[in-house]
Amino acid sequence: MEINLSYRIIEVVDFDPIWKKSFESEKIALLNAIGSNLVKIEHIGSTSVIGLIAKPVIDILVEVVNLESLDASKNDLETLKYIVKGENGIVGRRYFQKGGNQRRYHVHAFKTGNFNLVRYRAFKEYLIAHPIIASEYGQIKKKAVLNCENDINLYMAQKNDFIQKYVKLAIEWYGN
C-alpha cells in the first residue's frame, strides 16, 4: 500500500507524557513480532525527550542480531499495520511506518554494531543533557513547520544544519 504524502499534515506539538506509554505498548507488540532476533528496543527521537516540542510520531530504535531474519519477520510487522520501507535512504537500516498519512510510529532497525545505533542514541541523550539546546531545536522545528507548507522534505531541510551540527557534537560527547 503506497501512501499519498500530499495529504500529510506536518505539525509539531508540545511534549505529551502519553508518548512514553504509547512507546511501551508498541514495544511489546514489536518484541512479539521480532522475537529472538531482537537485541534492544528503545524510544528515540523528540518524543523521547521530556519537554521537547515534537511531531507526534513515536520513533523507535530496534537493534537486531540479523537483518535477514528481520526481513523474514515482514508478515508479522505487516500484521501490526506497519508498512515495510526497506532501507529508505540509510544503508543498513530497515525502516517501517505505521499510521497512514498521519502516522504515529517510525521504526528504525539496525544490526548490532551499526554506527547509526550510536548516532541515534547519542543525539537523544545529548538533547536530554542539554535542555537549552533541546529548546533551540524545538524553536527551529516550530519555524520549519510554519515555512514548509506540509512538505516533509522542506521541513527536514530546514532542520538539517542544526541536526548535523549537534549530532556530531553529541557523538563526541556520548563517547566520553
Domain-wise residue ranges, the chain = 5-174
Per-residue pLDDT at 1: 43
Residues 6+ apart with CB under 8 A from 83: 1, 3, 96, 97, 98
pLDDT tens, residue by residue, 68-95: 999 999 999 999 999 999 999 999 999 9
Q: Which fold has domain 5-174?
A: Beta Polymerase; domain 2 (3.30.460)
- pLDDT band at residue 11, thresholds of 50, 70 and 90? very high
pLDDT at 5: 47
Split at pLDDT 50, 70, 90, the class of 6 is: low
Q: Is the pLDDT of residue 3 over 60?
A: no
Question: What is the per-residue pLDDT for 103?
Answer: 83
Determine which of 28-32, 60-64, 83-87, 101-105 has the lowest per-residue pLDDT on average: 101-105
pTM: 0.93
Q: Give per-residue pLDDT as tens, 144-170.
A: 999 999 999 999 999 999 999 999 999
Contact 122, 116 (CB under 8 A): no
pLDDT in tens, 34-57: 999 999 999 999 999 999 999 999
Residues 6 or more apart whose Cβ sits within 8 Å of residue 49 = 15, 124, 127, 128, 134
Interhelix angle 131-148/115-129, rounded to 10 degrees, is 110
